[in-house]
Amino acid sequence: MAQQYIQYSVIVPAYRENGNLRPLVTRIFGALRRVDSPVPPEQVEVIIVDDNSRDGSVETVQSLQQEGYNVRIIVRTTERGLSSAVVRGFNEALGDSMLCMDADLQHPPEYVPAMLASLSPHHTFVLGTRYGKGVEMDKNWPLYRRVISSGARMLALPLTTASDPMSGFFGIRKEAFLKAKSLNSQGFKIALDLLIKAHIPAHAIAEVPFSFGVRSEGESKLTGKVMVKYLEQLVELYWYKYSGLLIFFMVVAFIAFVWLMQMWLNSL
């Protein structure tokens, strides 16, 4: 019965994250229970979307449920991948305001209340940004990851004005999510796909600066394959966003060419 009051859903894609789930969930609800939290904890659900890790994650979630935390786990057995896990979570969410965050505590749970509260019918997208004022990356985040992250960010600049579409810490309103058609569920960059395909205008994006941490347990799943998928996704998004413009210029150029040819033939 309590579920009908759920207004906010926190979606956590997770693969072999058992060691992080308890601190993640208890810290999210700890932040929501603070007196200055703009969001009441009883209106929030947490959904873990796990890809059959079989590492005790299910049991950890069950014990958190017994302790009264509103958390559930979806175990996928036939699908894999971060982005498609997030899409699955958004499809299952009860809340109108939905947040996506990593399980490994790199996205600090203490920012969850502010992120959720930033979503509204006017701000249909919220982006946790690592490039805002007063925040910093953990100094232990490796140099090669910073280089990859900056490169990925630069390549996406013509697609969006958002300062950090790569942070992986973002939220979207359900009505905006439902507008996005043919999402690319491969790879890691579902936020970028949603920004473009849900046609989120710049004024509808709220940004919340956050300090990016380092993974506390387990290993990153970002591989070379994931990076290749990102490049494929960029090609698709450039085409999605600019093909109309390209076709328009080609048609104009063709008409101008035909017109010039006629003028030239008439002048002979």
Ligand X SMILES: Nc1nc2c(ncn2[C@@H]2O[C@H](COP(=O)(O)OP(=O)(O)O[C@H]3O[C@H](CO)[C@@H](O)[C@H](O)[C@@H]3O)[C@@H](O)[C@H]2O)c(=O)[nH]1
CB of residue 124 to ligand X, shortest distance in Å: 20
Angle subtended by helix axes 57-66 and 18-32, to nearest 10: 30
- Cβ neighbours around 183 below 10 Å, total: 18
Tokens read off for 202: 């710049």
CB of residue 73 to ligand X, shortest distance in Å: 11
Rounded Cα distance between 142 and 163, Å, is 21
For residue 16, which phi and psi values (nearest 5 degrees)?
55, 55
- Candidate list 8, 9, 10, 17; residue touching ligand X; CB under 6 A: 17
- What residues from 175 to 204 belong to the interface with Mg ion (CB under 5 A)? none
Which is closer to ligand X, CB of 72 or CB of 96? 72
Contact partner at residue 207 from Mg ion, ligand X, none, CB < 5 to 8 Å by partner kind: none
- What residues from 205 to 224 belong to the interface with Mg ion (CB under 5 A)? 215
CA angle (232, 238, 242) in 5-degree steps? 155
- DSSP, res 3: G
- Candidate list 34, 54, 80, 225; residue touching ligand X; CB under 6 A: 80
Q: Is 24 in the site for ligand X (CB under 6 A)?
A: no
Q: Is 187 in the site for ligand X (CB under 6 A)?
A: no
Q: Is 102 in the site for ligand X (CB under 6 A)?
A: yes
Q: Is 60 in the site for ligand X (CB under 6 A)?
A: no
Q: Is 90 in the site for ligand X (CB under 6 A)?
A: no
CB of residue 111 to ligand X, shortest distance in Å: 14
Rounded Cα distance between 211 and 111, Å, is 9
Q: Is 14 in the site for ligand X (CB under 6 A)?
A: yes
Residues 6+ apart with CB under 8 A from 58: 50, 73, 75
Chain residue whose CB lies nearest ligand X: 168
Stretch that binds ligand X, among 14-22, 33-41, 91-99, 236-244 (CB under 6 A): 14-22
Rounded Cα distance between 49 and 86, Å, is 7
CA angle (70, 75, 76) in 5-degree steps? 140
Q: Is 104 in the site for Mg ion (CB under 5 A)?
A: yes
Contacts 24+ apart (CB under 8 A), 262-267: none
Burial of 162 (0-12, 13-18, 19+ CB in 10 A): buried
Q: Is 106 in the site for Mg ion (CB under 5 A)?
A: yes
Which chain residues interact with Mg ion by CB under 5 A? 104, 106, 215
> Contact residues for ligand X (CB under 6 A)?
13-15, 17, 49-51, 80-82, 85, 102-104, 106, 149, 166-168, 188, 215, 220-222
